[in-house]
A and B are shown apart, each in its own frame.
Chain A
Amino acid sequence: MKRLLTPLLWLLLPLGALGHVGSPNVFFTGQAGPHTIRVVIRPPAVLPGVAQVDVRVATDGVTNVTLQAALWEAGLDAAPAPVEASAVAGETNFFSGALWLSRAGSFSVHVNVAGGGGSGTAIVPLNSSATKRPAMPPLVGVLLVALGVALSLGVVWLAGVAARESVLEPGTFTGPHERHRARAVAMGAALLLGAALFAGKTRWQRMDREFRNNSLSQPQPVAATVRSNGTLRLLQITPSAADAPGGPAWDTLATDHGKLMHLFLLREPDFDAFAHLHPVRRDARTFENVLPPLPGGRYQLYGEVTYENGLNRTLVATVSLPGSAASAVPQLMGRSNLLNEAFCASAYVPATNSAMPVALDADDSWHVGAASATLVARLMGGYTMQFLTAGEMVENREAALRFVLLAPDGQPAALQPYMGMFGHAVVRRTDGAVFTHLHPVGTISMAAQELFARQARGEAGTATNGLAPVTTPTNVVHDVSFPYAFPRSGDYRLWAQVRAQGRVLTGVFDVRVIPAR
């Protein structure tokens, strides 16, 4: 009987969607006015539910931290009053609060930090969506079956006994007529009950199917094909054949770091070839990218896009590239078996008849080579990358994944911004159950953050391509760190990308994440 009016609400619910795979928690490092904060949001696995928000403040003297969640379509005006995050006992400058999320959608969490020399607000985008596949614990199943059997027997007994004795005067006894009638009624009740249970089971199955298809957040399968254009190979991404012609379209995307899509190619089965590309949108249902000289084989594709309402989606596909590792890039494999180069050639357009772009994006990069078994990865040009971890990796334990680049002389190299950031990282669990794309600001989509900031400022319009100007940091840094917590234990591979002396370098590491005790 709960939520009696929610059938009306149900009609308004959008479909679930989420960027990343198997990694729903949100990590953010940034500024709230004068305060540097680190925010971790653990959204509920089903909706409605509670999002747990932890805020660590780098500055002392903060007296008050409030949290407010606003749905994109409704804006901040329709958000509930901010809730206060309370200081965590025994901790310094650490605050925790809970936000009740009633529905799926694109939310902005406004974290306001006051005291200690000023106040300010940070906007953290949050995709709210069901992320957990329904599964019943065996004990609950056994308990429900036992109670169900007892209740079913009770119905049949009640029907029979009501037909047999309920109208008999006290002190009188049942005759054969009553007993026959009771048997007939009990059988009728059993049949009706069976039909009701069958109807309930059918309803459950239908609801479960609809939940998995429409509400449960999952990566969106798309189709990836490779075609040749002269000497170039073009990778084309379109909606999957299973989608109706009026299905998903990409005409309402916002740019993230100046790109509409960030596409990652990982070669199966060892994931020793990696590419981070930025396909160009041809039309609302087509993206294209020139393929760099990657070795042949079967690749997993992960494409990350952000919609104009701040929702992220991860598109997934597989594609086979022709040729062998040796034949595809013989000139670049070299003795080191390492390939690590940002291809920055200008567009090459045949003058004759093709309007297709036939150049790689200046920020495209790729890497071929085995992962480092140690915490040091050898890179091209004598560079090395060190993975600086503080002890073992534990599931769901927040940690900064920190990397430092060493020049051939062994000294830390100055990092150059790469798409507005000092680094990009990709995390993938060996079985593919987890995939996520990290930045030094965390897991958030900066496009979504900018969209919400514009909305909060009351700026009209969210032009698809005019968004998220890539601001280039000017400070000199020698290391980069990514706030994250591995959502599950197991073996992971990390790809950390930085730029030095105009060259994008990718360090590849294998890490083992142990279960939380």
Chain B
Amino acid sequence: MAAWTAGLMFLAAAGIPLSLLWDFSWESTVGVDRFWAPAHTANYLAVALAGLVALRIAVHSTRTAATRAGTLRLGGLHAPLGAWVCLWGALAFPTAVVFDRWWQSAYGLGAGIWHPPQILKAVSFFAILTGAWLLAWKGQNEAPPGAAARAAVAVAGIGGLILAMITVVMLPSLYPNRQHSASFYKILCATCPLVLVALAAAGRRRWPATVAALVYTALVCVMVWLLPLFPAKPQTGPIYNALDHLMPPPFPLLLVVPALALDGLLRWWNWPAHRGRAWLQAGVAGLVFFVAFLLAQWLFAEFLLTPDADNRFFAGGGRHWPFFLKIDEASRSIFWETRADELNFSSSVAAVGLAMLSARVGLWLGHWMSRVRR
């Protein structure tokens, strides 16, 4: 895959979580949710770009016997697996949009938020990111020594985009006020180790999981810092929180800490070669993820709710809320659901269990992706 093709694919893939964060901010600030709202348009463009790049790869791969060699055939078209997955996502997305348009005209929001077209839309986003990731892995697996570094960075970078996508989907559950609750740790333990462990176990070069976590952090930070620069105000009511600029999303999670620990554990630890090695690795990796993430995020969340975090850099202090959310002053800077959803011994065990399972799937995924040649 040519460098510019890879660059465009990375741009399209990055555009998806970025436009969704923008959309989140837009709907929290302006509220009027039209089909061609700027953030929606950016989202459509990102998906369209990913689909076009994947199509370009397919057309290019079909041309000659040499380009067809490392591809999969469907009808008269040849393309790598990643391009096919991207194309599937690019077809699933307009399907979800048609379905969603009808859904909005039939139910509005009166039937709930996570409705079938919304789920299909999320699936299509993940498919496009997975397709881009597969293309990057294929590139890494085929890379000549001279291009190995760039290919490895692409794998880690798109891994970071997938981390961003996971946190965007879960955004309402990841607010700093929820970061002492059991659910928060369970959600993160069930999802993030999959990506981080796959990278730590199978990425090339040094610190792939850490690079992915840094890409995620940078991406979200850009939105935290940029969005509040744009004036905007609610256009529908009731307005419980007055806003005059786009609301920033919450500061990114400190995933870089468990990512560092996993890179260290899986890349630098000398694991014995025996039959149950993968399960042992997954068990230890799951536990390490939980402990490292808990230590870092627990303390960081406390800081984010203090007045010291009430600045442009951290966008914390319990000050940034969607205009429509009726929330009393006292609840803004305290932790919620600490009793009903307490992080105690049993919920911690459950979170560790989820992290171990997620890590095991991550190991399998990394093992497979590091061998993808088509």
A residues neighboring B (CB under 8 Å): 1-10, 12, 16, 44-49, 69-71, 73-74, 78-81, 83, 99-104, 130, 132, 134-137, 140, 143-144, 147-148, 150-151, 154-155, 157-158, 161-162, 165-171, 200, 203-204, 207-208, 210-211, 214-216
Contact = CB atoms under 8 A, between A and B. Distances in A.
A135 B106 contact: yes
Interface string B232-273: 011111111000000000000000000000000000000000
A4 B27 contact: yes
A4 B108 contact: no
Given A102-B237, A147-B98, A158-B81, A5 B105 contact: no
Contact of B239 (A78, A99, A144): A78
Nearest to A79: B237
B81 A162 contact: yes
Interface in B185-236: 233-236
A4 B172 contact: yes
A134 B116 CA distance: 15
Nearest to A169: B373
B110 interface: yes
Interface stretch (B4-12, B87-95, B145-153): B87-95
B111 A211 contact: yes
9 contacts: A1-B125, A2-B118, A46-B110, A48-B108, A48-B236, A80-B235, A81-B233, A130-B108, A204-B116
Contact of B238 (A10, A74, A169): A74
Interface in B1-58: 20, 23-24, 27-28, 31-33, 40
B240 A166 contact: no
A124 to B, nearest CB: 16
B368 interface: yes
A104 B125 contact: no
Contacts of B85: 158
Contact of A166 (B20, B326, B373): B373
Given A47-B110, A151-B91, A207-B115, A170 B235 contact: no
B248 to A, nearest CB: 13
Given A8-B325, A48-B236, 16 more contacts: A1-B20, A1-B121, A1-B122, A2-B23, A2-B40, A4-B24, A10-B109, A46-B105, A47-B108, A69-B236, A103-B109, A130-B107, A137-B102, A144-B102, A166-B81, A208-B107
B108 A9 contact: no
B235 A157 contact: no
A441 to B, nearest CB: 25
Contact of A4 (B125, B171, B238): B171
B90 to A, nearest CB: 11
A144 B125 contact: no
Contacts, number: 185
A211 B107 contact: yes
A150 B75 CA distance: 14
Contacts of A211: 107, 110-111
Nearest to B121: A1
Q: Which of B74, B237, B373 has the most CB of A within 10 A?
A: B237
B324 interface: yes
Nearest to A1: B20
A157 B92 CA distance: 15
A135 B109 CA distance: 16
B106 A167 contact: no
A102 B236 contact: yes
A7 B322 CA distance: 12
A208 B240 contact: no
Interface in B102-153: 102, 104-113, 115-116, 118-119, 121-122, 125
B72 interface: yes
B112 A10 contact: yes
A136 B117 CA distance: 14
B121 A102 contact: no
3 smallest A-B Cβ distances: which pairs?
A74-B238, A215-B110, A46-B108
Contact of A9 (B111, B118, B237, B324): B324
B88 A151 contact: yes
A70 B238 CA distance: 7
Contacts of B119: 200
B88 A154 contact: yes
Q: Which of A3, A81, A214 has the most CB of B within 10 A?
A: A3
A16 B109 CA distance: 12
A170 B69 contact: yes
B278 interface: no
B277 interface: no
Contact of B236 (A1, A100, A147, A157): A100
A104 B81 CA distance: 46
Contacts of A166: 72, 81, 368, 372-374
B84 to A, nearest CB: 6
B371 interface: yes
B81 A161 contact: yes
B70 interface: yes
Interface residues of B, number: 62
A5 B110 contact: no
Given A1-B125, A46-B105, A167 B23 contact: no
B279 interface: no
Given A46-B106, A80-B239, A157 B95 contact: no
Contacts of B92: 151
A5 B109 CA distance: 12
A404 B294 CA distance: 79
A100 B105 contact: no
B111 A207 contact: yes
Nearest to A151: B92
A80 B31 CA distance: 11
Contacts of A154: 88, 91
A390 B287 CA distance: 80
A135 to B, nearest CB: 7
B295 interface: no
Contacts of A69: 236-237
Contact of A8 (B33, B115, B172, B368): B172
Given A1-B121, A132-B106, A140 B98 contact: yes
A467 B150 CA distance: 75
A8 B336 CA distance: 13
A1 B118 contact: yes
Contacts of A78: 237-240
B99 interface: yes
A155 to B, nearest CB: 7
A46 B100 CA distance: 14
Contacts of B240: 74, 78
B116 A200 contact: yes
Contact of A74 (B20, B237, B325): B237
B168 interface: yes
Contacts of B234: 80
A170 B239 contact: no
Given A9-B325, A140-B98, A167-B372, A2 B27 contact: yes
A168 B325 CA distance: 53
B123 to A, nearest CB: 9
Contacts of B84: 158, 161
Contacts of A155: 88
Given A7-B172, A49-B108, A136-B106, A204 B115 contact: yes
A170 B102 contact: no
B59 interface: no
B364 to A, nearest CB: 13
Contacts of B105: 45-46
A350 B107 CA distance: 54
Nearest to A70: B237
B169 interface: yes
Contacts of B111: 207-208, 210-211, 215
Contact of B95 (A7, A49, A151, A165): A151
A128 to B, nearest CB: 11
B324 A102 contact: yes
A73 B238 contact: yes
Given A10-B112, A46-B110, A48-B109, A1 B172 contact: no
